[in-house]
Structure 1
Amino acid sequence: MNSNTTARRRVRRTALIAGLVAAVTLPLGLTASAQASAPAPVKASAVAPRSVSGTSGQVVTRVADFYGAYIDAKGDYEDPDATLATVLRKHYLTPDFAQRLAAWEDENGADGVLRAQNVPARWKVTDNGAVGNGHEVIVTLTFGSGGTTGTTQKTRLFVLVERYNRIVDIETTSAR
């Protein structure tokens, strides 16, 4: 090999390396300058986004689904959906319990699923474990706004679910 060939290879190698360096750093530089010139997004709050998850066939998820949908159907003050509330009851409650619940409602003048005459502002569903052949779930309903006057009331309901995932009882005391 002569010195001309070696020199050309060095020039080509240097050019190739320079091209690769430019190909890698140029987009980074453009991104950095674009980020520097663009205003940073403003976060509304420092609170992490909320998420809700569930598992198909899990008793707690099933009861949470029922109460969430039921409260939404009953709580739409502009247009409550009584038909949806009825369909939800038919789907989630056993027929025997639905009859007993209707009798309780006639006697007490309140919604038996909520054990109240109004609709809660918030609810929480918690697993309470196995009871006999079923499973008990605690539903905590919070009524009122909790605003400056601090007028909130909590009601704890013990929801008993049979092994086929239908609600067989709702009480204010535990079956345990």
Structure 2
Amino acid sequence: MKARKALATVPVLALFLAVLVLAGGCSGKGKAEDTAYAGPGGGAEINGVSFSIGEMETRSEIKPEEPSGYYHYYEEQKGWKYYVITGQAANKGPYTLNAENLAVNGTHGKKSYEGRLLFSNPEKSEFIKEIKADEELEFYFILLVKDKDLLPDKLEICYTNDFKAPKEDRPYDKLLIWTLPQLPIPCRVQE
């Protein structure tokens, strides 16, 4: 992720990949105790936070809907595309969900793509990492995919029951395997 108007930036692809390696997936930190499945109906829930998909698309760059002043964004990377799944998240649970404490992977067959979850602030001017209890925000699942690769058809989301950082001896409590919808969700390629 990069900040517009920033004085110095690290190449975004290297930073994105480094964050993903550190975040890892469920398989990198051990198996989750319980596995749940969500079908392709366009929605899923994890521990009181519901996700309703609005759009799935590939993008060459990702930025907030209404950027203002300094903001973080993902710049275009030659040979890569971003697969972005957006929609509305509603936190009806008791905990703040910090997206940095989740592991997000997209899969297609045996191919795996590491990713991350972000939210848009209420003004839609910046990406943020948390959704508090009783809050509704737009979400972004972001997966970095090589141009020639097939797009993921499933998301794997690993989390702890209280959305806190996983522990070394038992990293995650739950794994949600979410089969992504095909239609009628709008799917498009954005250049």
In the superposition, the TM-score normalised over structure 2's length comes to 0.26
Give the number of the structure whose alpha-carbon radius of gyration is greater: 1
Q: Report which of the two has the higher share of helix.
A: 1
Q: Report which of the two has the higher share of strand.
A: 2
Query: Comparing both chains, which one has the higher relative contact order based on Cα–Cα distances under 8 Å and sequence gaps of 6 or more?
Result: 2
In the superposition, the TM-score normalised over structure 1's length comes to 0.27
